[in-house]
Amino acid sequence: MASVTYEHVTKRYRDTTAVHDLNITVEDGEFLVFVGPSGCGKTTSLRMLAGLEEVSAGSIYIGDRRVNDVPPKDRDIAMVFQSYALYPHMTVAENMAFGLKLRGLPKAEIESRVRGVAKRLGIEHLLHRKPKELSGGQRQRVAVGRAIVRNPAVFLMDEPLSNLDAKLRVQARAEISKLHMQLGTTFIYVTHDQVEAMTMGNRIAVMKDGRLQQVDTPHTLYTRPANLFVAGFIGSPAMNFFQAKLREQEGTLWVDTGAFRLPIPPHQAEPYWQYVGKSVIFGIRPENIHDPQYQPPGIQPARVRAKVSVAEQMGSEVILHLSAADPEGILAEQEFVARVDPRTELRVNQWAEVVFDMDRFHLFDPQTEERLGSTQALFS
């Protein structure tokens, strides 16, 4: 087992910089997830660690060893690819044993390792089959098993669940998380799926345009996003954003979007007084907007009048797409989404009032897109 350190790592392709000055330390035994949209640099970061891409600047360490110039086979890592990369002419047992044979391990040890890992993954009965005879989920287990038998210091996984259907993805997420807990080995995982990231990682590194935006626990990313991008990327449906101004009236601080005004509770207001009169971006998650009839107890409610344009019945909840109205009742170009109690009676084309929980909001600077103030009291 080993830690992994990216120290001012940059990757350039001619005039394009794919990764900018990346600095992360992954602790020994940690499960770190790189997440972000396509082209953000997450896979390139993983491939540099694996030795499949050269580092343009900076250093990568596995444990205390700088590995920039170490061949991939000598880095003591194992990688699981999106395509699984199984040899079609080999059986499952031969695929899993291939790396061990190259290392010259005794035949008896190879067989013991392969059978032990296959039993742990529930694929012992598949050892005689070839990849074409397996389902997508079974191939994924074989690819993971091939990595496990090597007993590496670090596991690297590049979108290994992308080829699975929705049900299998949920199952495979749980299996990989269990494996990490059983093995206690360092896992570094790449995905574009923020649900995978939130459910699997001890910490998550969010990337955009080759730059690290924030690295922290899933809870902190959700409750205290560093900037507008992280706030919008983490969470499903995405956080609602409104162009607004902060105004003061009779000792109360208000968020004024033009379509509606919301009072900031006194215990939340202190960090924001310095922004009175300035433009801000007001953010609130769909799950913090409620049908007043079923609003949770103990929240700081602020009512907003809106018209329901779409209602998506999800069984355990209803996702409402709404358009806000200005004080005269004229529809404004302020559309937003709410996740409300499944018992709601709000219907399409109905005018209604919904409740914003003003204990759970965010304000961002429109120029820097950084989060303003502090909301530590909200989520402690």
Q: Which two tokens mark 215?
A: 């690295």
237 preceded by a cis bond (ω within 30 of 0):
yes
pTM: 0.89
- Final residue before a domain boundary, out of 233, 258, 280: 233
CATH number of the domain enclosing 322: 2.40.50.140
Are 18 and 149 in a shared domain?
yes
* Residue 367 Ramachandran class (φ > 0 left, ψ -120 to 50 alpha, else beta): alpha
Are 225 and 287 in a shared domain?
no
Q: pLDDT for 33-54, tens place per residue?
A: 999 999 999 999 999 999 999 9
Are 256 and 300 in a shared domain?
yes
Structural domain total, the chain: 2
CATH number of the domain enclosing 150: 3.40.50.300
The rounded distance, in Å, linking the Cα atoms of 228 and 98 is 46
Q: What is the pLDDT of residue 376?
A: 39
Are 40 and 113 in a shared domain?
yes
User: CA dihedral defined by 79, 83, 88, 90, rounded to 10 degrees?
Assistant: 20
Query: How many other CB atoms are there within 10 angstroms of residue 59's CB atom?
Result: 13
Q: What is the pLDDT of residue 373?
A: 83
- Final residue before a domain boundary, out of 218, 233, 248: 233
The rounded distance, in Å, linking the Cα atoms of 147 and 100 is 10
For the residues of 166-217, what is the DSSP string, one character each? HHHHHHHHHHHHHHHHHH--EEEEEES-HHHHHHH-SEEEEEETTEEEEEE-
Report the SS3 class of residue 61: strand
Contact (CB, 8 A) for 356 and 289 = yes
Q: In terms of residue numbers, what domain contains 289? A: 240-379
Q: pLDDT for 249-279, tens place per residue?
A: 989 999 999 889 999 999 999 999 999 999 9
| Interstrand relation of 4-13 and 57-62 (parallel, antiparallel or unpaired) | antiparallel
Are 281 and 195 in a shared domain?
no
Q: List C-alpha distances in Å: 82 to 48, 135, 156, 253, 341.
A: 17, 15, 11, 50, 37
Are 22 and 154 in a shared domain?
yes
Are 270 and 224 in a shared domain?
no
Are 217 and 266 in a shared domain?
no
Supply angle C-alpha 107, 109, 113, rounded to 5.
120
Are 211 and 249 in a shared domain?
no
Report the SS3 class of residue 137: helix
Provide the residue type at 243 as one letter. Q
Name the H helices within the chain: 42-50, 92-102, 107-121, 136-148, 166-183, 194-200, 218-223, 228-233, 266-269, 376-379
Q: What is the pLDDT of residue 327?
A: 53
Are 254 and 226 in a shared domain?
no
- Final residue before a domain boundary, out of 177, 200, 233: 233
Are 30 and 113 in a shared domain?
yes
User: Per residue in 65-85, is it b (16+ CB within 10 Å) or e — as a string?
Assistant: eebeeeeeeebbbbbbebebe
Are 173 and 209 in a shared domain?
yes
Tens of pLDDT along the chain (380 residues) come to 699 999 999 999 988 999 999 999 999 999 999 999 999 999 999 999 999 999 999 999 999 999 999 999 899 999 988 888 899 999 999 999 998 988 889 999 999 999 999 988 889 999 999 999 998 888 888 988 898 898 899 999 999 888 788 888 888 888 889 889 988 999 999 999 999 999 999 999 999 999 999 999 999 999 999 999 999 999 989 999 999 999 999 899 999 998 899 999 999 999 999 999 999 999 999 999 999 999 999 999 999 999 999 999 999 999 999 998 765 555 556 899 999 999 999 999 999 999 999 999 999 999 999 999 854 333 33
